[in-house]
Structure 1
Amino acid sequence: MCSSNRRRSIYCILPPNILINVAKRGTQEQRDAVLETLSVDQSLRASRTQFALLGGNKVAHESITATPPQKQRTIYDTNHTQTLPGTMVRSEGQAAVADVSVNQAYDGLGNTFDFYYKSYQRNSIDNAGLRLNATVHYGSKYDNAFWNGQEMIFGDGDGVLFNSFTGSVDVIGHELTHGVTGSEANLIYLGQSGALNESISDVFGSCVKQFVLNQTADQADWLIGAGLLAKSIQGVALRSMKAPGTAYDDPMLGKDDQPADMAHYVHTASDSGGVHTNSGIPNRAFFLAASAIGGFSWLKAGQVWYDTLTDPRLKPQANFASFANLTVLNAGRLYGSTSPEKKAVSDAWHTVGVLKQPLSIVNLPLNPTQRGETTPSDGAQQPGR
């Protein structure tokens, strides 16, 4: 599982309820693997806390000077131990190696870097040229992948329930986007702000995959982690942005519990207030907006979401309503107050029940000098109602 505190979180791709279900229902071997994963996650939280107390990425990149953006990737291999970062096996510019996981991690980091730079002129995760490091073959049958604030870490999966975690580029894009969010809005990993944190990672993780495959919104599968589930599992992915709640329904993993709208918002104390569960609501809003606008989802809908993520008015404790209103405002700023793009964004939030009415008029201050000064407009649905 992952910590609920925003400064102590490791951002794992697997929702904790899946691991808990396997621990309850799996064979002894599967239970052992999952319990080991949960134990490892606990120790990694401590490492993440220490890194944050030392200043996090601010310490890691404060000496970087302004240079032309360029990828700086390094891949390590722990050889199934838990000693990070492991042995360096491939660095920037080196040829592919025999290990598929190493090459997939290297390519995934590069694809995510290229996506952010070519789409939004962002220079790496922190927008200051942060090196992109990753470790593969972490632990024994480790069922997870995560961004720990310093690097990407990939387990190989157990081969029965989950395949290798390096094989899905959207998973890599998802996890690295947690670093982007942390360096921008730093959304608190709890409740609706935490669900937004997870959703933003799904949004840009999916956009990275669509970018790599050169897919338009209507061509995309809108699945997160397609190919990650083993053949024995009844499901297609970890999450569906198009149809939240339908990604899997399996005796071992349980049923996908994501709601598709605010009428089915899940109030829970688990998973940091349902951050992986309720992220289905803003996920579907992005799918609806991108589909209505058409074309490549990262160009217009993605630009609106990116501008909102980097908007100084977005609070660390933002709820769905305040985020939605900012997306409508930014869509109007980018494409015009009566544009079809703004209407598509507004209609999407209305459809999922976050905005009370489509094309809501927002009255947010135009001076973005202070973060945390704004509140949702009257056109917004309040949290969980």
Structure 2
Amino acid sequence: MSRIPLHCFVPPYLLRQVASSVGLGVAVDPYAADCCGRTLRIDESFRAARASSADWRVAEGEEALSGPAWTVHTAGNAATLPGTPVRTADDAEASGDVAVDEAWDGVAGSLAMFREIYGRDSYDGRGAHVSATVHYEQDYDNAFWDGSQLVFGDGDGRIFDRFTRPVDVLGHEFTHAVTEHTAGLVYEGQSGALNESVSDVFAACLKQRVLGQTADQGDWLIGAGLFLPSVHGQALRSMSAPGTAYDDPALGKDPQPADMSGYVDTTDDNGGVHINSGIPNRAFHLAATAIGGSSAEGAGRIWYAALGSVAPDVDFTGFADATVAAAGEHADAIRAAWETVGVLGGPGAGPGPAPVPVGADVVEVRRSGGFAGRTVTGTLDLAGDDPRVAEVRGLLDRVDLAAVAGGRMHPDAFVYDIRVGERSVRVVGSDLPDDLRRLAELVLADER
């Protein structure tokens, strides 16, 4: 039995930033902050529930499901998946539900791109049926691939619009499934950042293909149209200029680096997988615009070939070498793109931040991971008069940190680092024992 990955679109750090803004005195809609906090809690509980389910991978030799190639369901703003079927691949006529029809178009476009350009039959290469669900939960601020299907929330109506609106959201999540069935990139460090970047790469290819754009004509924004007009930002990420996608009082500033000089060497977010993905993202943009024409048919073919040739733990340099090897007549352009971002022939990453010392009477909880991995940290002085102290002391009396299993890291999981004096433990969110989960909630209460 394997751990079920959950690939969420909105960076958990972004949700946490909005959720904690009210307490920090930032002018943000309290309802939107509440929705973002609730979305984080839903994601955690969903991962925990899925963790005990059967292996989602299609077994070798297993036949594709009979019937339509894909089905779009509605959860009716509840949490039951997949929900009620509304429209299948055979239903050419629109349903009238805009989210259903956007999801239908996105699945159709993703399947067509991978089939017509890369010769791939569905995400597994063997014609697996695609299931998508819209209207998941109430005011849910995310979208994800859970290992068996695509799921989309409606957004909170204050900061986030519906998650079916930008077609690249669907393309991103669909590509996570493709990656799992090809390279199986380990979701940690540079291979994890490549996992996230590959999803952005083919999301951008899909968007430009749907719009009939060349590489030079594309805006290279991931998630454009997802933010509502009140937000100071264009999108969740910019592939052409990482770090510039948004700068908003409630959301903070886009943290992605544009080259290796800004590489974040950290233990948070499985090694900064969502932040450092900006570096290979920019390399693809440079490669695609240098080659010209269709991104999907030009640089996209090269990236797809490389994805099928690398080891699961490949680093940036190894992946860059694989793209150069697959580039043929475009090898010089591909090499130049990676050199520009400092991966080939460029400076390495600098040292990470020094850990914050924690005294014997202080509990520190750091939560990272999710779609882009921004970290939130909370501390509690056990010698102080904070009303949470008594309950936290009781929880610590019942927990042996040395006996807690850390669990297997997987894409978009929340990861908790808990320290009490010299004792520490790192635990995947879905594997948190109940007492530690409650402790984390208490210590991070002011950061939500």
For Structure 1 versus Structure 2, the TM-score category normalised by the shorter chain is: 0.7 to 0.9
**Other-structure match for 2:344:** 355
Number of residues of Structure 1 aligned to a counterpart in Structure 2: 343
Query: How far apart are the structure 1 equivalents of 2:38 and 2:61?
Result: 33
Stretches of structure 2 lacking an aligned partner (at least 5 in a row): 23-28, 352-448
1:325 to 318, 321, 333: 321
1:89 aligns with 2:86: yes
Verify the 8 A CA contact 1:226 1:236 in the aligned structure 2.
yes
Query: How far apart are the structure 2 equivalents of 1:47 and 1:178?
Result: 20
Q: What is the CA distance between 1:58 and its match in structure 2? A: 1.6
Q: What is the CA distance between 1:46 and its match in structure 2? A: 2.4
Report the AA paired with residue 340 of structure 2: T
Judged with a 3 Å threshold, the aligned counterparts in structure 2 of structure 1 residues 30 and 61 are, in CA distance, closer, same or farther, namely farther
Judged with a 3 Å threshold, the aligned counterparts in structure 2 of structure 1 residues 35 and 191 are, in CA distance, closer, same or farther, namely same
**Other-structure match for 1:219:** 217
**Other-structure match for 1:249:** 247
Q: What is the CA distance between 1:85 and its match in structure 2? A: 1.1
Query: How far apart are the structure 2 equivalents of 1:48 and 1:351?
Result: 41
Report the AA paired with residue 325 of structure 2: L
1:31 aligns with 2:29: no
1:233 aligns with 2:231: yes
Query: Is the deviation greater in 83-92 or in 172-181?
Result: 83-92
Query: How far apart are the structure 2 equivalents of 1:266 and 1:383?
Result: 7
Q: What is the CA distance between 1:93 and its match in structure 2? A: 1.3
**Other-structure match for 1:276:** 274
1:10 to 6, 13, 18: 6
Report the AA paired with residue 88 of structure 1: P
SS at match of 1:57: coil
Verify the 8 A CA contact 1:187 1:193 in the aligned structure 2.
yes
1:300 aligns with 2:298: yes
* TM-align CA RMSD: 1.9
SS at match of 2:117: helix
Q: What is the CA distance between 1:166 and its match in structure 2? A: 0.2
Q: What is the CA distance between 1:383 and its match in structure 2? A: 6.1
Judged with a 3 Å threshold, the aligned counterparts in structure 2 of structure 1 residues 132 and 151 are, in CA distance, closer, same or farther, namely same
Stretches of structure 1 lacking an aligned partner (at least 5 in a row): 1-5, 358-380
Report the AA paired with residue 262 of structure 2: H
Q: What is the CA distance between 1:146 and its match in structure 2? A: 0.7
Query: How far apart are the structure 2 equivalents of 1:233 and 1:273?
Result: 28
Query: Which portions of structure 1, spanning 4 or more consecutive aligned residues, are displaced by more than 6 angstroms?
Result: none
Q: Whose RCO is larger (CA < 8 A, sep 6+)?
A: 2
1:342 aligns with 2:331: yes
Judged with a 3 Å threshold, the aligned counterparts in structure 2 of structure 1 residues 42 and 61 are, in CA distance, closer, same or farther, namely farther
Verify the 8 A CA contact 1:57 1:149 in the aligned structure 2.
yes
Query: How far apart are the structure 2 equivalents of 1:16 and 1:323?
Result: 26
Correspondence 1:111-126 to 2 at 5 A: 111-126=109-124
* Alignment TM-score, normalising by the size of structure 2: 0.74
Larger radius of gyration: 2
Query: How far apart are the structure 2 equivalents of 1:61 and 1:18?
Result: 41
Query: How far apart are the structure 1 equivalents of 2:7 and 2:190?
Result: 16
**Other-structure match for 2:312:** 316
SS at match of 1:315: coil
Query: How far apart are the structure 1 equivalents of 2:282 and 2:50?
Result: 31
Verify the 8 A CA contact 1:223 1:237 in the aligned structure 2.
yes
SS at match of 2:103: helix
Verify the 8 A CA contact 1:195 1:276 in the aligned structure 2.
yes
Correspondence 1:49-60 to 2 at 5 A: 49-51=51-53, 54-59=54-59
Report the AA paired with residue 7 of structure 2: Y
2:133 to 128, 132, 135: 135
Query: How far apart are the structure 2 equivalents of 1:262 and 1:133?
Result: 38
Q: What is the CA distance between 1:61 and its match in structure 2? A: 7.8
Correspondence 1:254-269 to 2 at 5 A: 254-269=252-267
1:147 aligns with 2:145: yes
Query: How far apart are the structure 2 equivalents of 1:59 and 1:355?
Result: 37
Report the AA paired with residue 345 of structure 1: I
Verify the 8 A CA contact 2:158 2:228 in the aligned structure 1.
yes
* Alignment TM-score, normalising by the size of structure 1: 0.85
Verify the 8 A CA contact 2:124 2:181 in the aligned structure 1.
yes
Query: How far apart are the structure 2 equivalents of 1:254 and 1:305?
Result: 32
Query: How far apart are the structure 1 equivalents of 2:64 and 2:314?
Result: 31
2:283 to 261, 282, 285: 285
Judged with a 3 Å threshold, the aligned counterparts in structure 2 of structure 1 residues 277 and 89 are, in CA distance, closer, same or farther, namely same
Q: What is the CA distance between 1:268 and its match in structure 2? A: 2.6
Verify the 8 A CA contact 1:191 1:272 in the aligned structure 2.
yes
Query: How far apart are the structure 2 equivalents of 1:315 and 1:191?
Result: 14
Query: How far apart are the structure 2 equivalents of 1:253 and 1:343?
Result: 39
Verify the 8 A CA contact 1:268 1:274 in the aligned structure 2.
yes
Judged with a 3 Å threshold, the aligned counterparts in structure 2 of structure 1 residues 43 and 267 are, in CA distance, closer, same or farther, namely same
Verify the 8 A CA contact 1:321 1:382 in the aligned structure 2.
no
Q: What is the CA distance between 1:50 and its match in structure 2? A: 3.0
Higher relative strand content: 2
Q: Summarize deviations over 1:43-99 as a string: whole Å, max 9, x none.
A: 221244234xx221224981339x9xx961111111111111111111121121111
Verify the 8 A CA contact 1:261 1:352 in the aligned structure 2.
yes
Q: Summarize deviations over 1:315-337 as a string: whole Å, max 9, x none.
A: 11111111111111111xxx2xx
Query: How far apart are the structure 2 equivalents of 1:127 and 1:202?
Result: 20
Query: How far apart are the structure 1 equivalents of 2:10 and 2:78?
Result: 21
**Other-structure match for 2:17:** 21
Higher relative helix content: 1
Report the AA paired with residue 91 of structure 1: T
